Amino acid sequence: MHPASQLSVVVVTGAARGMGRACVERFRHEATRVLAVDLDTPTIEDTTGLACDISDPEAVRTLADQARELGAFRTLVHAAGISPTMARARRIFEVDLVGTQLLLDAFEPLAEPGSSAVCFASSAAHQVSLLGPDPTLDALIEDPTSEGFLDRAASQFDDSGLAYGWAKRGVIRAVARAAVTWGHRGGRVNSVSPGLIDTGMGRQEFEAQPIMQVMLDNTPVGRLGRADEVAAVVQFLASDEASFLSGIDVLVDGGCLEGLRELMRG
């Protein structure tokens, strides 16, 4: 297992703002090379900035190649994504699910003992389960790089909020599958599912969707989460202290899921 050192590389997508930026701050203070990635090149002290559209397979392959050139691959933190108010269903699946699968596939050859990935899912992925089982959609999200996937996914959803929840459920499944393939190389893969977090994207969703207030009112902790609280969980999952954790999702929502479950019981 290689130690975190100046030769080890941490890649953070969605690095310019919000939870991605909080992750950069966490890893920037470790002895690593940090590759900060966003749609436009981020300028963050003590990092190497790179622009990348994570839904573009060629751009993702180039990103993995550049990470390889910087040194021994240590960690991929994949925080980039879009939320329900930002796009329609097809684009949400393209960025949030297909983009995640592309990154996991591209970085798998870089994995070695001590390497890890942490992908951002969402509490919305857990909340769709409150609506009851849907074997058809569960089968759909198992193969996001198959031919015609985006057309099939878009045809299932008129509501971008539901599309987001299912895309993020697909992220959790992609992580579980990757834990097996990365594991053959000595790597680990996990995900985090943030709930209501006080970020610019989160505030945009809060203003547009009344259900967000209902969620907050039923969050047992009684407040919004902070980006650094999520980043702390990510840092732990990527660390050697979590060396026996792989293929899991960590729900970071202040108890909101259980609060909503109780509300539905009435």
CA-nearest of 202, 248, 204, 250 to 225 is 202
The C-alpha atoms of residue 8 and residue 163 are separated, in whole angstroms, by 36
Residue 185 pLDDT greater than 50, yes or no: yes
What value does the mean pLDDT take over residues 142-165? 97
Residue 2 pLDDT greater than 90, yes or no: no
Helix, strand, or coil here: 29?
A: coil
Percentage of the chain beyond pLDDT 90 is 90
The C-alpha atoms of residue 96 and residue 254 are separated, in whole angstroms, by 23
Mean pLDDT of the chain: 95
CB-based contacts of 196: which residues, under 8 Å, 6+ apart? 123, 202, 206, 212, 215, 216, 219, 224, 225, 253, 254, 256
Bigger pLDDT: 30 vs 187: 187
pLDDT at residue 5, rounded to an integer: 41
State the distance between the two ends of the chain, measured CA to CA, in whole angstroms.
50
pLDDT digit string, tens, across residues 249-261: 999 999 999 999 9
**What is the token pair recorded at 31?**
């002895």
Residue 73 pLDDT greater than 60, yes or no: yes
